[in-house]
Amino acid sequence: MVEKTTYTLAQAAELLSCHKETLRRAIKAGTLRAAKIGKEYRISKTDLEDYWAARGGGALFDDSPRPLPRPEEKKTEKPKGPEQLKLPT
C-alpha cells in the first residue's frame, strides 16, 4: 500500500475537523503552505502537520514523531499583602 503524502483541501479539512474555507484562508494568509494544481490545492503531509502543530494540535498521523511535552510553567504564588507588624506589649 502506498503511503499518502498529499491531501486535497477537502481531505485536509476532514482530517482537521474544520471547514475548507478555514484552510483556504490560511493558505492565502501564508500560514499554511499548499501547491495549486489547476483549480485545486494540494497540501503536503509535512505542511499539514506543521500547520496543525503551530496551532497547538498534537500528532495527526500514527507515524508522526510525538511532540515533546511542554515544560510546566512555574506557578508563582501571588504576593501576599505586607506582613502585619506586631508591637511589643
CATH class of 6-54: mainly alpha
Strands of 35-37's sheet in order across: 6-8, 40-44, 35-37
Interval 36-66: pLDDT, tens: 999 999 999 999 999 998 888 777 777 665 5
Structure confidence at residue 81 as a pLDDT band (50, 70, 90): low
CA 20/CA 62 separation, integer angstroms: 23
Q: Is the pLDDT of residue 73 over 60?
A: no
Percentage of the chain lying above the pLDDT 90 cut: 48
The answer on pLDDT for 84 being more than 60 is yes
Mean pLDDT of the chain: 81
| Contact by Cβ (8 Å): 26, 32 | yes
> Residue ranges of the domains in the chain?
6-54
